Structure 1
Amino acid sequence: MGGCANPLSVRSGSVPLVGRDAELAALLGAVRHPPSAVFVEGQAGVGKTRLVAEFVAAARAEDARVVLGSCQPMADPFPYGVLLDCLSQCGDHLGEPGPVTGALRDLLPELADRLPPAPRPLVDPEAERHRVFRAVRDLLCCLGPTVLVLEDLHWADEETRHVLRFVLANPPPGLSVVATYRREDLRTGAPLGRAFHVPHGVTGVNLVLRPFDTTQVRAMVDALVGSAVTSQRFAEVLAGETAGIPFVVEETVRALPDPVRDVRLGSAAARRVLAGIDVPVLVADAIMERMGALPPEARAVAEAVAVLGVPEPIDVLDAVAGKAAAEHVTTLVASGVLVEQKGNRYGFRHDIARRAVYAALPGPRRWDLHERAVAVLSTVDQPPLVRLAAHARAAGITGQWMRYSELAAEAAEDAKDVPAAVDLLSQVLADPAISAEDTNRLATTLCGYAMTGLPGGPVTARVEGLLSDPRLTPDVRGEVHLWFGLLLQREAGEVDRGAEEIARAIALLGDQPERAVRGMAAMAGPYLGTASVAEHQASLGRVEEIIEHLPTLALRTAMLATTLGGRLIVGDPSSWERIAQLPSPSDVHDPEEIHHLARAHCNVADACSWIGHYGRARTFLRTGIALAERVAASYVVGTAEATAVRLDWLSGRWTGLEQRIDRLVDAYENLLLTQDLNLTRGWLAAARGDWMRAQAAFEAATGSFPVGISAAGGMAGMLLTRGEAAAAEDQVERGVALLRRKGAWVWSGDILPQAVDCYLANGHVDAAHQLVAEATTGLRGFDAPLAQAALTACHARLASDRDEADRLYREAIDQHRALGLPYRATQLAEQAEGDDLADPSVIDALVQSYDSLGATVDAARCRHRSRGIGVATPSRRGRRGYGSELSPREQDVARLLAGGHTNREIAQALFLSRRTVEEYVVKVRRKLNAPSRHDVR
């Protein structure tokens, strides 16, 4: 057997009805009050048949008699065809047919033995026709309470329409008629031939099924894949590509390479995946069947629209199709092939339909239409450069393809659409017919574009692809290695590979230091690799010697952006004098210089946030973000947002922080900066008792310094809270080993207190003293406010004299408050009280402080201590009655339930008994109307 099949390739027919609850209720409500007439209108694929199937099942479940018939797409439909099909099924339910029903005896041989003898034919055809109409009504009356469902009434013959008008004008008292139709396929303007008004006493309902909106598309995709995993962005893209037509949505999802994985994608990735699948066979068949019914001239206009790719006005369609398009567009719109859009432009209802028509075009016809498109679009005001490049390529006009691609890439780069710029040039470079001179020029341009936007995915892959091009000169190949390495270093999991590429680049450009300096600066950064801080500082010194001789301000600023942050983050006091050398933002006007100055300010802000200069960090961050937004430097903005999130955590601004982190991780998926975001996510989750989420986040934050060290400290603190001291010490040893290897004690602020606590909890007092002694020595001469404050706290923890310990605790608390770290200051205040904490007012103050932050675990621990001394702490909110709303404690339980925690884990996190947690779970489920604990979201 071959590989694993697409999990949705086999149809089960069991996907629940989505997005039509109101319509289903209207149908059922109508047939519960006969006589009734319900007309369900909707374009092809919008879900009329699916709705009817659900309706029939629900009606039969209520013991209704339902008779179902479907009209067929025939050029000359049979007279009374669908009605006779339905009536032929009803022999077992006939009462006493009247004499007039004999007129149907020859038409319904299945009922011949139950009908009266056929009457003598009348001479007047209209009189005979009237008798047949009366016979149909009488026979329906004999059936008693019945629901007659007629699908696709647009294909019915005229006699069927007329007899339905006759019957519904005075319907049998127990009859309900439900009819579906497509307005675009009606031969007349109304489903019954002419406008029909439901008479008094008859329940009338007219439903129009609209395409799904994004929410409904998302719900449908979740139903198809069997899990609520579809991302909002994927649903938005899919809704746009399919116009929200349920049939097209379903077939498209079934055509995905890996639906369960693909539906989780963001916007850009979703567009790539959807563009890469073939048009689903059933959708293509339906589209081409409709195209086949068109007159040749109208079909030619539709083909021109398919090639043009986007809706266009009549004059453009005229010129490209070579036809008088106006009269044929009317036919195409009336038939539902095209739709009118803003600006009197005409296009397909959804792109899947356009692609189906395009794929069916013979090569010569397709090439001719593309060539016509180039000729027409090149003459309009503001020519669409990207489309002109695509049309020229498809028409085989290589020179114009390259010219338009370069112009379009330049415009895309100006608009900060880096992926588009890179993709345009990559397509040209992939053509072996392009000259070596053009190849080297375009490759250099492409790499420059790639570095201005977000790395990852196709952009990095495009740059990597250049390395296999034999047309590159050694100098250009060296630069491509450099750009590729720099891009890789921004991606999670690719840091070491990026360093290897940069090393290759430096070797190839070794005799041109002004071109290799960016790689040298990247390799000198202390964030990555195993070299010591001292080695990195020496490397930075060599780079700084070169910077002074660089020819342009933009290049000098670019290098300073890397070296200044690199020096400051290891606590080099001389960094502040060097930072003062940066140009003033008001003096910089060139976009490239603005971009690099933004990067410099954001890198300095990030360095400040790691060593403890939080006020300065926010100042530099504000300037850096403002500069980056002036030139839409997306990666710089991303790094700044990650730094801002961490600063907000440290300063106790936790409201909405989790949602911000989720949004940013989604936006910057697979980039190195997500490790920083995951660190903050871990800290936040651990403080709220969401240990599963915290552990996953800490484990995802281990790729670089100092993030990995802080993640080890965060994990150790969480494990210690859970009573897992041995496992906590393992984490400490890992983090401390990184500190010792790098000699970067300036990064110890987020692990030293946890390390000392772990060592003491495990009885390793000597190890705690040794670590504090190493840190004390290692921090001498370095600018490290956070690490120094943490070191003071450690000295307090290890002090043997109570008075000395109290003094050191007060000093440590003051230092943390001065730094703006309320959470750590509150923890130290609690720790300073030790095991003797019994003052209700002190406990209450701690609880209020923790509650104001949202530190669930710490607040719960203090409440537990309060209960232990027989004092009840007040609720974080005044009133006790919450009605159907969740109380604060119920919110905590609900959040942990949603995270997948067991009752035992919730009890441990909130310092509650298992029985109390069980009671809370019952209340939460009831208030959230959740059938099970797994449904709490």
Structure 2
Amino acid sequence: MVGSASVTRPTLLSVDDADRADLESIRALVRLMRPGPALPVLLALGWRDREEPAAPVEWATRSTLEVIRPRPLSGPGVTAVVRRLAGTAVEAGFQAGCLAATGGIPSLVTGLVAGLGERPLPLTGAGLEAASGGDVPVFGARVRRLLHGQSPVAVRAAQAMAVLGDGTATTTGAGLARVETTAFTRSLRRLEAVGLARASAADTWSLAHPAVRHAVLTGTPSRTRTDLHGRAARLLHDSGAPAGDIAGHLLASPAVAREPWARALLREEARTALLRGAAEHAVRLLRSCVPPGREDTCDPVLVMELGIAESRVDAESGIGHLTSVLDRLPGPALRLTALSALVGALTRTGRTGRAAQLLAAQDTGSPSGRARLQLLEADMLLAATDNREAYTDLLQGVSLRLDLPGTTAEERALLAGRAFIAVSRGERLPQALSAADRVLLSGTPLTDSPVSLAAAAAALAYADRPADAAHVYRQLLEGADAVPDHLRAGLLALDGEAAQRLGRIDLALRSTAQALGSTPGARVTHHQTLALAVRLHALLDRGDVVAADALAGTVPPDAIDDAWQWSEYLAARGRLRLAQNDPVAAVADLTECARRQELWQRTNPAASPWWYWAGHAHLAAGDPAEAGRLATRAVDLAHSADFPVALGTALELLASAGGERGRLQILEDAEGVLAQSGAALSLARTRVARGRALLRAGHVGPARKVLRRGWDESHALGAHALHDEAHGLLLSAGARPRRAASRGAGELTRSEKQVARLAAAGRTNLQIAEALFVTRRTVELHLTSVYRKLGLSGRKELRSALGRPRGGADAAPARRER
């Protein structure tokens, strides 16, 4: 039949999946190709290799058959396939990520593209990264089909690697897969050949991509997966792996997690998690050790540990567990630990009455009993700062005596909390500052809680002694390795705040960056919220309005709660709106901040600069009377308390809010006060304001002298916006100030450089926005900042300022914009 068909025209015989066909039938077709009378027949056999492709190779040696092994797609090949399927250009990041995920296997490439389109996710590096942790249905199905076409040993090897994760050691993986090491390695080589695995350094292996791992795990039966996790935990434990590498496997295998060795390991890892500030993770670990409804039969110390962890993320559960074991705990030390966490949780949830009852029930007849009571009261004061209603109730019912000698760590903890509250309220300031000094003189990081020492230092910072506070913060940060991460974030925030008050902008930015880490704005803790506020102020001090706006944009409105730290954030955001020439929005934010500050009784003008920026916002909105009221109140309070920075800045605001009469004298007084304070940026700002007033009054010579000092000081501090303002005023005064040596392209941020180079190459704002995946408004803001920093009037001067850009697509001419 084949011969008859081939007489009239060439004939194609195609057999897909020939490896699954009847071998004798295939051999019969192959015999048609043996040497002899030539037939115009092409036989195409699709053969999926498993272990060794013996049959096709053997046939190729006996006939005219040729073995063709298709290679994986290259980068350009992936680009061509994606362009054909999606009809869009391919980003370099996606091309690289696609190759990593698929190994260039065409069926996987097309499956990945189709799967991303279904979710839907963009065909970009970011889109592929977003898909890594979840299921991409079409891609996952093709991965599983490809995997199950391999040998059973290869399937078990892939499942073992999916459970163990990246960097699986050959011996560990083979043990989990229950195969010999040589067979395991051979199977991995096969998986590598089909694009599902890759060799890592030092005899370790990984699946090709997180999406591949997810597909393999999804395709593994639930019971098998649970068993694999349990055996993986034991294997890793026996090999001496860190507890953190084992805990996740135990959570996925509840039966194994209940074994004594596993429970001990989970408790150890939970303690480590609490030190890192990862309370939610600690709760997950400990709940696997305490089955619901079986708390009464569990070790009370274990239940206490669970309650302490829960008190930070699920206060009601924590209160319940701590209450249930309080009387069953062995020894006073453990009972004090549980009681401290319980009092804190009750206070944070507004139940100060019950917390006070627990304190009143304590035995104070012995020195140790009195010490416990003092420590618990200090804990309650600290916890109350997270709940305004609890804070208000507590201040009405507890004593804030400041005459304790501070000879014990417990006394110092109580003194520090009381001093911080008193200074924030602007009450009994001499006694409060004396108490804070006693705490810091007698306490050390080895004997006292870092929270107590930081609270005492914060009291000094809020009394216009930021340099003294900064010294304490640095000691705590550099010498206390065991400080939990959530407390470390608070210390870094306070350190950044002290640096910002001193005009050390770069240090403030470094400290706040460390405090925030990679935490998104929607999930910042209260400690990090203060860092967020300080960072906004520092960015605005530096003149980087674009970066400040981007940072504020990460915080959704529903993230702002009633904590006092969010009041500071509103003050900083109000200042940002003022810098963006939006006085209405600035007044709204700062008015809300003022309301909150009053509710929290933070009436000391040195505790927060919100009133200063509120005054300037009212001036910009055309309401000098309200600005004058704020300034007068701050002057009175700061003068009576002898707070030089608050007094100097209040006088500067008062001069701006008042008429011309007396303005110069008020500004001169403000400058004199600030010159002795150490607040370098506030001093430079006041000098520029005084120079402006002198210039307006026609005193050109004195104006130049004052402005030049402000110009020099602001440049030394890195306060670019203030420096530029002083520069413009000097020019108006007829001076020709030199350009600062550091000004230039090196002063631009990375994003500003990218935008500037594309603009210099002739790209339009819209083209730049599309190339960098940002909005057109962001491009405009970056260009405005570039022009200011480089002293340019517009786009036409960019090319010479940056140097001629390299050739290529970026150098193509385009419509020019200003």
TM-score range, shorter chain: 0.5 to 0.7
- The answer to whether the 8 A contact 2:470-2:499 is kept is no
Matching residue of 2:740: 876
Output the amino acid matched with 2:536: G
Q: Do residues 637 (structure 1) and 581 (structure 2) align?
A: no
- The answer to whether the 8 A contact 2:526-2:565 is kept is no
Give distance in 1, aligned partners of 2:492 and 2:815.
33
> In the superposition, relative to structure 1, how do residues 851 and 737 fare at CA in structure 2: closer, same or farther (>3 Å)?
same
Give distance in 2, aligned partners of 1:765 and 1:756.
8
Q: Which has the larger radius of gyration?
A: 1
Matching residue of 1:333: 189
Give distance in 2, aligned partners of 1:576 and 1:224.
70
Q: Do residues 619 (structure 1) and 476 (structure 2) align?
A: no
Give distance in 2, aligned partners of 1:543 and 1:225.
71
Output the amino acid matched with 1:574: Q
Residue number among 428, 436, 456 corresponding to 1:604 in the alignment: 456
Q: Do residues 793 (structure 1) and 737 (structure 2) align?
A: no
- The answer to whether the 8 A contact 1:789-1:815 is kept is yes
> In the superposition, relative to structure 1, how do residues 343 and 894 fare at CA in structure 2: closer, same or farther (>3 Å)?
closer
Residue number among 605, 615, 626 corresponding to 1:746 in the alignment: 605
> In the superposition, relative to structure 1, how do residues 607 and 375 fare at CA in structure 2: closer, same or farther (>3 Å)?
closer
- The structure with the largest helix share of the pair is 2
Q: Do residues 850 (structure 1) and 714 (structure 2) align?
A: yes
1:553-568 aligned at under 5 Å gives the runs: 562-568=417-423
Residue number among 283, 304, 318 corresponding to 1:444 in the alignment: 304
- The answer to whether the 8 A contact 1:386-1:405 is kept is no
Output the amino acid matched with 1:825: L
> In the superposition, relative to structure 1, how do residues 426 and 152 fare at CA in structure 2: closer, same or farther (>3 Å)?
same
Matching residue of 2:634: 775
SS in 2 for 1:625: helix
Output the amino acid matched with 2:355: I
Give distance in 2, aligned partners of 1:338 and 1:721.
53
What is the deviation of 1:331?
A: 3.8
Give distance in 1, aligned partners of 2:650 and 2:746.
48
What is the deviation of 1:863?
A: 4.1
SS in 2 for 1:611: coil
Matching residue of 1:653: 504
Matching residue of 1:293: 150
Output the amino acid matched with 2:605: V
> In the superposition, relative to structure 1, how do residues 872 and 328 fare at CA in structure 2: closer, same or farther (>3 Å)?
closer
Deviations 1:274-303 (A, max 9, x none): 66x457553354245334431x45655655
Q: Do residues 181 (structure 1) and 71 (structure 2) align?
A: yes
> In the superposition, relative to structure 1, how do residues 935 and 369 fare at CA in structure 2: closer, same or farther (>3 Å)?
farther
Give distance in 2, aligned partners of 1:225 and 1:311.
35
Give distance in 2, aligned partners of 1:390 and 1:243.
27
What is the deviation of 1:612?
A: 1.7
Question: How many residue pairs align between the two structures?
Answer: 725
Output the amino acid matched with 1:616: D
Q: Do residues 829 (structure 1) and 719 (structure 2) align?
A: no
What is the deviation of 1:616?
A: 0.2
What is the deviation of 1:740?
A: 5.3
- The answer to whether the 8 A contact 1:373-1:391 is kept is yes
Output the amino acid matched with 2:306: L
Matching residue of 1:784: 643
What is the deviation of 1:210?
A: 13
Give distance in 1, aligned partners of 2:253 and 2:742.
74
Residue number among 668, 671, 677 corresponding to 2:531 in the alignment: 677
Matching residue of 1:409: 267
What is the deviation of 1:637?
A: 1.7
Matching residue of 2:19: 75
Structure 1, gaps ≥5 residues long: 1-69, 80-105, 108-120, 137-149, 169-177, 183-206, 488-496
Give distance in 1, aligned partners of 2:781 and 2:250.
66
SS in 1 for 2:349: helix
Give distance in 1, aligned partners of 2:309 and 2:734.
67
Matching residue of 2:381: 521
Q: Do residues 500 (structure 1) and 500 (structure 2) align?
A: no
> In the superposition, relative to structure 1, how do residues 636 and 847 fare at CA in structure 2: closer, same or farther (>3 Å)?
same
- The answer to whether the 8 A contact 1:679-1:698 is kept is no
SS in 2 for 1:624: helix
- The answer to whether the 8 A contact 2:628-2:653 is kept is no
- The answer to whether the 8 A contact 2:198-2:208 is kept is yes
SS in 1 for 2:182: helix
1:9-28 aligned at under 5 Å gives the runs: none
- The answer to whether the 8 A contact 1:313-1:344 is kept is yes
- The answer to whether the 8 A contact 1:540-1:563 is kept is no
Q: Do residues 814 (structure 1) and 676 (structure 2) align?
A: no
What is the deviation of 1:404?
A: 1.3
What is the deviation of 1:744?
A: 1.0
> In the superposition, relative to structure 1, how do residues 807 and 446 fare at CA in structure 2: closer, same or farther (>3 Å)?
same
> In the superposition, relative to structure 1, how do residues 473 and 600 fare at CA in structure 2: closer, same or farther (>3 Å)?
closer
- The answer to whether the 8 A contact 1:338-1:349 is kept is yes
Give distance in 1, aligned partners of 2:184 and 2:617.
80
Matching residue of 1:19: none
What is the deviation of 1:694?
A: 4.6
Identity %: 15
- The answer to whether the 8 A contact 1:509-1:516 is kept is no
- The answer to whether the 8 A contact 1:385-1:407 is kept is yes
Matching residue of 1:37: none
Output the amino acid matched with 1:832: R
Give distance in 1, aligned partners of 2:216 and 2:262.
26
Give distance in 1, aligned partners of 2:231 and 2:734.
88
1:186-205 aligned at under 5 Å gives the runs: none
What is the deviation of 1:438?
A: 1.8
Output the amino acid matched with 2:143: A
> In the superposition, relative to structure 1, how do residues 315 and 623 fare at CA in structure 2: closer, same or farther (>3 Å)?
closer
- The answer to whether the 8 A contact 1:562-1:603 is kept is yes
Give distance in 1, aligned partners of 2:157 and 2:582.
72
- The answer to whether the 8 A contact 1:467-1:481 is kept is no
Q: Do residues 428 (structure 1) and 288 (structure 2) align?
A: yes
> In the superposition, relative to structure 1, how do residues 576 and 860 fare at CA in structure 2: closer, same or farther (>3 Å)?
closer
- The answer to whether the 8 A contact 2:567-2:597 is kept is yes
Output the amino acid matched with 2:19: A
TM-score by length of structure 1 reads 0.59
Give distance in 1, aligned partners of 2:100 and 2:319.
35
> In the superposition, relative to structure 1, how do residues 751 and 157 fare at CA in structure 2: closer, same or farther (>3 Å)?
same
> In the superposition, relative to structure 1, how do residues 920 and 736 fare at CA in structure 2: closer, same or farther (>3 Å)?
farther
Output the amino acid matched with 1:639: G
What is the deviation of 1:642?
A: 1.9
> In the superposition, relative to structure 1, how do residues 705 and 351 fare at CA in structure 2: closer, same or farther (>3 Å)?
closer
